[in-house]
Amino acid sequence: MKYNQYAYVKTDYKTQVEELLQIKFLPSAYQKLSFGALLAELTANTVAVIAPDAKSARNAKLAEFAVSDSERLSDFLDTAPEKIDCSQFYNVALQLLGYHVGYDYQLSEPLKFMQKQGLPYVKNIGDKKHLIQAFYRLLNTRAKNGQLLIDVMAGEGYFYNRRNQFAKNKFLFFNGKSMPIFDTSKVIREVVYVESDLDTDGDGKSDLLQTTIFRPIESENLPVPALYTASPYFGGMIDNEQRNHNVDENLSDATEWTNPQYQAAPVVKAKKPLADSKESYKPVEQAVGKSSYGLNEYMLARGFASVSAGAIGTRGSDGLRITGAPEETESAKEIIEWLHGDRIAYTDRSRQHETKATWCNKKIGMTGRSYLGTLQIAIATTGVAGLKTVISEAAISSWYDYYREHGLVIAPEDCQGEDLDMLAETCQSNLWDAGDYLKIKPKFDEMQKVLLKKADRKTGQYSDFWEKRNYRHHTENIKCSWISVHGLNDWNVKPKNVYKIWQKVKNLPIQQHLFLHQGPHYNMNNLVSIDFTDLMNLWLVHELLGIENNAYEQWPTVLVQDNLKADKWHDEDDWSNSIGTETVYFPTDNNELTKDANGMQKVSFTDLGGTEFKKAKISENDWQYQFICGNPKWTKASLRYTTDEFIHPVTIVGRPEIRMRVSSSLNKGQISVALVEMGDRKRLTATPKILMPGEQELGFHFKVDSLQEFMPDRLTHAKLITKAHMNLQNYQDMKKPAKIKAGDFYDLQFELQPTYYTMPVGSKLCLIIYSTDQGMTKRPLEKTVYTVDLAKTAIKFSLK
Amino acid sequence: MKYNQYAYVKTDYKTQVEELLQIKFLPSAYQKLSFGALLAELTANTVAVIAPDAKSARNAKLAEFAVSDSERLSDFLDTAPEKIDCSQFYNVALQLLGYHVGYDYQLSEPLKFMQKQGLPYVKNIGDKKHLIQAFYRLLNTRAKNGQLLIDVMAGEGYFYNRRNQFAKNKFLFFNGKSMPIFDTSKVIREVVYVESDLDTDGDGKSDLLQTTIFRPIESENLPVPALYTASPYFGGMIDNEQRNHNVDENLSDATEWTNPQYQAAPVVKAKKPLADSKESYKPVEQAVGKSSYGLNEYMLARGFASVSAGAIGTRGSDGLRITGAPEETESAKEIIEWLHGDRIAYTDRSRQHETKATWCNKKIGMTGRSYLGTLQIAIATTGVAGLKTVISEAAISSWYDYYREHGLVIAPEDCQGEDLDMLAETCQSNLWDAGDYLKIKPKFDEMQKVLLKKADRKTGQYSDFWEKRNYRHHTENIKCSWISVHGLNDWNVKPKNVYKIWQKVKNLPIQQHLFLHQGPHYNMNNLVSIDFTDLMNLWLVHELLGIENNAYEQWPTVLVQDNLKADKWHDEDDWSNSIGTETVYFPTDNNELTKDANGMQKVSFTDLGGTEFKKAKISENDWQYQFICGNPKWTKASLRYTTDEFIHPVTIVGRPEIRMRVSSSLNKGQISVALVEMGDRKRLTATPKILMPGEQELGFHFKVDSLQEFMPDRLTHAKLITKAHMNLQNYQDMKKPAKIKAGDFYDLQFELQPTYYTMPVGSKLCLIIYSTDQGMTKRPLEKTVYTVDLAKTAIKFSLK
């Protein structure tokens, strides 16, 4: 398994020496030391658990290393060496990197092991210059736990032990990244209340928004950037899953659609900060140490404040949760306005004492996944001042694409029956405080009714309600730089969300990056195969501290994790159909899928909705796996067309598009289409496997994280590549339903979720046409016969 | 689900007032305050996130509470009340305890909810005295997250915010328990090297034992007790599972037994500390913040040092791991000798600078589970000075009972093929340091051969090798008080280990307690149904700080968790057959199990070893469940006898004993016997369900833990109560094998694992007689026919 490394900045020898002196690794008198003395000194320095002035302890540790299968480092040093062999050096280095002799590697062949792990090494270490270069590279090499060695050393006390040797209240950079020299034992954790321009609970007073800040104590004297995570879950999550909406119901006639309109909440004008007022009260409320997002904690140890806020409706804040609405964006954005000095906040809800973010350098980045990533997109599209960059993971770019698709109610994976109203309730955690409950509950009940009605589960159609929840129509306002991260197997927030906004963001005059990993609804901070956390360090130092560290040239615009080998990442300039070549496949009368010619038959299948599924008492995921594998119990309700085995690997990129002519036995209908890779083989785990639990120290005696990676797993028969669903009544217009007649044929054309999927040699591609998707669509109670005219059916996609 | 509470110490009003004043909860001028003002003040004091002097913020928080479904607390206080109704008070109290109005409880019926949760309340709060009593009880009531409210408040900063009001360097007690007033941001984490009298690696020098100490900074001026966890895994665990021994082999003739002898390792005499020497170097090596045992972390915040050591063979220490041997006990014990001032330690492995445990009050308790609990038993039986108490969880009391049973090789659950040699390798983590590896590896290889040979997987018989690993033969040396914790469903360290040592410990002139929970190989610190952590606080304060806090009278000698209702705990004076009434059941010719009369037939079954099991490709656990449920595929290889449905619940207590007459078609054989509860019902989860992940703050901005409990789970058909295995060749003597003849009948008599199991109404008890137990016994390759003479077969157990 290769430890790929993208965040290592190429550095000349002179700069290497300067930096090593700055971090107090290279002794200032290094030029006077012999080769052997320098080797001893630098090796002992890497043993960060020992106090730098404890000579006997440092020497004793040198006996715990070996340079070969017969010689300890201490004995080698006793020979007063003038040089060290590459394999001798890396026997010691591998041990420093956390590998275990005899178990991970053999003392006789260290380089062979390093090549396997993709670890860099210096070939000739015949003099002090090369020795220094080798150590510089080693400190910036990823250890077994996935972290850079310098970060491992930091977790063992390297910087803590030398804390008096560094300038107070300054950032320290090494190879372009900020080092964890901030005192994590004294982090300031405080709560303030930002005053909004909104009055979503309609009490005539501006809503106050509880905001939690974790910041280094050094920020009392050194303005620091803020990493802001807008988390609607921060106040707690109301567990209402058990009352998810019923999905076991027939489709409705979509023409009953009334185009529900977005309705704005009341606004008030909050007091604005006076430009010349310096008066600021100290916060009086402490934040309880919640485990927040790992990336924020990692950066906190490196001098970046971590700010969390739930905004309207969440615990400690006023107002109503109105998921996806412009009010939600506004309230979450207002926290940035306070951080930037453009809005006021109070020490408590009595609104008496104003408090300022004097500790902030007014440069703000955003982080977070899922809903927390979504709000980054929402806020970025306002162009708010102070927001310099977003690192948006698994984010929704249009709420219609989260709860709906092509005129149908489509659930996120594992969330059948959930809808926007329920998510709003999940986040309405200010109901938990009884005093707030008395005031909010009646208004909340009313808003819940509005949300349920306007979201229109009946027809599933697009409307003004959803249009106001589509951030993609405001991308022209984006001023900050942009990083998107998404799982190619994310069936919760489906990849279309990132794909469609990427098509706009990529053309903006900003710096932008995209990472696509092989996970589901997940983040990728600690993968073996990529040094994502280090990249983010480099990026944030560049964007929020203004340090020139090559961050813009350091890695490709798009990086895509391979679906066959987890430690292979593809470099791309873009993610779109245009990076491949258009190819069209046709279903034949013999259930083949070929490039040659269409079938001519009209073929039917009978959909039974959820009837059989409910009887089987299996999970939705089990159903899906059995269905794509071709279990006859389920495939009756589908048409399936399969290619020959691929004799060369090919990669499907972008969004496949299906066109088909179809009729329904009723005057309504839903069509689902899936592309599946068929073939018995060991595929990667669906989620990364935790490899070294809790072994990444994010600072000194601070939070921890765990290395993980997708690993080869047990044999499976098939894998879903992509799918899509469509309402027949939208055959004319995706945004407007039409009447259809039972038995009449209609031409559909729609895109599947985007992908980047390599078909291995020997696999087959299968196109499945069906209707009820047990985990996502409504599950009708009635029988429907669908007939497909193969002569007018084809699937088109890009191959590379 | 009831939050049972055993650790609340009944306290008179005068003491309550004193304690409330001491913790600065009750204002010193409390007598001058009106009822309403006192209510406001005390309620605000519970909102520990707010700085005590932040008046407006404190007042603002009072508006977040409600006293009824129409009145906020702030409005109620505005009426200058002279009393508060019980339901008004507990509406506020429930919110303080972390419950959510509208979701957990209704403002109209707080007391109904409190009764359901088993929460105590004061009925009339008509004056200030009763108000103070109500608050005293409330602070000592378990919150929704399982912690006492005062501990929740501590996690929110209660003591931190008032840190200048408490005496420096003193313990603070409340209701008999130590409070977390120690500065967890400044914990000292250091490493020292204790010098052993052993030279297990035979290099002529005493082995040094790396010892890690986490202690409060206050211990620089205040001697504190030490909680010592002897953990062979502390240096890391070598993963060697993939080379577990083959268990798919035929039984051997046990008379090939040679009674392997224990062989002592070399000893040297370490330098002893001089009585009057005060010279002590400060440690120079820092410990990396590892997540250690939750109970230790909890007590660390409360002033108790946490000491961990792996002892011989582990990383950073010299020597060889010799699992279970007296050398292992000796080396783990020597850490206590250093803590107690009776042994020396160095700052590093160069042995130059001696360092003393001057911070220790010389009173040591031990903690830990599994191997870590085992070493508590081992060390307690040495009677070492300084060891005052052990809290030994899921511990082995004789290594024969871990890897062997009645003349057979029997694996711990989920560890088929593991043996003592492999566990020794798992812990030999000093191999990971290459310098140590060069020295140790050849000696380690040699020791591995010795352990494998002497453990004698061939015959499975008891021997001197095992005798020296049986701590129960040294219980007369025990001087410390004793707490044992064990899961009644622990099939890794089987309950016989705790049962057999309990039979000895209970008669010693020491204080002793036993907790039996419903888990497998697990600890019970954070269960909803019992306040175990609070009990341990009370206990350790009594034992290690010498405070009289009623700890000895506070809870029953034996507490047993019910297997039907997780929140019911049985009080017992003892755990033995004698707490029930002896009952005998007989198998009949009609496969019944009755109290009336024996069957007269001789019946046979054919054992196929592991043949069919391996073909089925299912896990050992799946096999066991299918087997006990009566899946015909597996039951062919067994005899099964079942009672009628029980019409009253009865509880099987202690160790059932089977006697049976049996023949084998070969001149060898293994017999297994299981008692199973049959009946379709929803049983409890096998492991506790995590209910509030990470929501227990063990100190202020310190480690966290999670509330958990066994919860009603999905329907299952049967549950294993107990089982046992026996080698036919031990029919005469459990400690000495005999020849047997194929086809001849032999009388066996042996005890099953102990239990405490309530058969619910409608369930049936099933006795299963079989041979190969796929997850535990060897799995022969050959066919064996066993014949049982029912006329001479009966099972005896105690019922209550």
Q: What is the mean pLDDT of each run of 10 residues along chain A (800 residues)?
A: 97 98 97 97 97 96 97 97 97 98 96 96 95 98 98 97 94 98 96 98 96 97 98 95 95 97 93 83 88 88 97 98 98 98 97 97 97 98 98 98 98 97 98 96 97 97 98 98 98 98 98 97 93 98 98 98 97 98 97 94 97 95 97 96 97 98 98 98 95 93 94 95 98 97 98 98 98 98 98 97
Active site amino acids of A: 370, 490, 521
Which chain A residues are within 8 Å of B57, Cβ to Cβ?
284-285, 347-350
Question: Residue A275: its pLDDT value, please?
Answer: 73
DSSP type of residue A190? E
Nearest partner of B192 among B359, B354, B305, judged by Cα? B354
Question: Residue A274: its pLDDT value, please?
Answer: 83
**Residue B784, H or E segment:** strand B784-799
Question: Residue A288: its pLDDT value, please?
Answer: 84
Establish if A107 touches chain B: CB-CB under 8 angstroms: yes
Stretch 36-75 of chain A: residues touching chain B, C-beta under 8 Å:
49-51, 54, 56-57, 59-66, 69-74
B343 near B334, Cβ under 8 Å? yes
The string of pLDDT tens digits covering residues B598-621 is: 899 999 999 999 999 999 999 999
Which chain A residues are within 8 Å of B443, Cβ to Cβ?
none
Stretch 667-696 of chain B: residues touching chain A, C-beta under 8 Å:
694
Q: Phi then psi for B770, rounded to 5 degrees?
A: -150, -170
**Residue A188, H or E segment:** strand A188-195
- Nearest CB to A51: which of B156, B284, B441? B284
Q: Which parts of A128-251 fold into alpha helices (H)?
A: 128-139, 149-155, 158-161
Nearest partner of A457 among A495, A496, A400, A395, judged by Cα? A400
**Is there a contact between A103 and B286 if contact means CB atoms under 8 Å apart?**
no
**Is there a contact between B95 and A431 if contact means CB atoms under 8 Å apart?**
no
Look at residue B283 and give its three-state secondary structure.
coil
For helices A128-139 and A35-46, the axis angle rounded to 10 degrees is 10
pLDDT of B292 > 90? The answer is no
**Is there a contact between B437 and A101 if contact means CB atoms under 8 Å apart?**
yes
pLDDT of B436 > 80? The answer is yes
Question: Residue A290: its pLDDT value, please?
Answer: 66
The string of pLDDT tens digits covering residues B174-205 is: 999 999 999 999 999 999 999 999 999 999 99
Cα–Cα distance list, A2 to A119, A235, A427, A531, B259 (Å): 8, 40, 40, 11, 50
**Is there a contact between B65 and A435 if contact means CB atoms under 8 Å apart?**
yes
Nearest partner of B685 among B516, B495, B517, judged by Cα? B517
Question: Residue B274: its pLDDT value, please?
Answer: 83
The rounded distance, in Å, linking the Cα atoms of B746 and B749 is 10
DSSP type of residue B403? H
Question: Residue B291: its pLDDT value, please?
Answer: 58
Which chain B residues are within 8 Å of A95, Cβ to Cβ?
433-434
Stretch 270-329 of chain A: residues touching chain B, C-beta under 8 Å:
284-289, 291
Q: Which residues face A192 on adjacent strands?
A: A211
Question: Residue B191: its pLDDT value, please?
Answer: 97
**Residue A55, H or E segment:** helix A55-62
Q: Who's near B54: CB < 8 A, 6+ residues apart? A: A284, A285, A347, A348
Pairing of strands B558-561, B512-517: parallel
| Residue A703, token pair as written in the block | 């939070």
The whole-angstrom distance between B269's CA and the closest CA on chain A is: 22
**Is there a contact between A54 and B284 if contact means CB atoms under 8 Å apart?**
yes
Question: Residue B277: its pLDDT value, please?
Answer: 76
A208 near A350, Cβ under 8 Å? no
The rounded distance, in Å, linking the Cα atoms of A90 and B31 is 73
Establish if B208 touches chain A: CB-CB under 8 angstroms: no
pLDDT of B91 > 80? The answer is yes
Computed over every residue of chain B, the mean pLDDT equals 96
Stretch 743-782 of chain B: residues touching chain A, C-beta under 8 Å:
none
Give the residue from B43, B65, B72, B281 with the most A CB atoms within 10 Å of its CB, the best one to mutate: B72
Question: Residue B140: its pLDDT value, please?
Answer: 98
Question: Residue A306: its pLDDT value, please?
Answer: 97
Establish if B237 touches chain A: CB-CB under 8 angstroms: no
**Is there a contact between A285 and B54 if contact means CB atoms under 8 Å apart?**
yes
**Residue A672, H or E segment:** strand A670-684
Look at residue B785 and give its three-state secondary structure.
strand
| Residue A695, token pair as written in the block | 């072994």
The string of pLDDT tens digits covering residues B462-515 is: 999 999 999 999 999 999 999 999 999 999 999 999 999 999 999 999 999 999
Question: Residue B689: its pLDDT value, please?
Answer: 95
Nearest CA in chain B to A291: B694
- Nearest CB to A186: which of B185, B347, B700? B185
| Residue A95, token pair as written in the block | 């041990």
Which chain B residues are within 8 Å of A210, Cβ to Cβ?
none
The string of pLDDT tens digits covering residues B372-419 is: 999 999 999 999 999 999 999 999 999 999 999 999 999 999 999 999
Say how far residue B350 (Cα) sits from the centre of its chain.
Answer: 38
Q: Who's near A292: CB < 8 A, 6+ residues apart? A: A214, A229, A306, A308
The string of pLDDT tens digits covering residues B768-784 is: 999 999 999 999 999 99
pLDDT of B289 > 70? The answer is no
Look at residue A745 and give its three-state secondary structure.
strand
Q: Which residues face A114 on adjacent strands?
A: none
More confident residue, A522 or B341: B341
CA neighbours within 13 Å on the CB side: how many for A599? 24
B315 near B235, Cβ under 8 Å? yes
Residue type for position A598: N
The string of pLDDT tens digits covering residues B30-80 is: 999 999 999 999 999 999 999 999 999 999 999 999 999 999 999 999 999
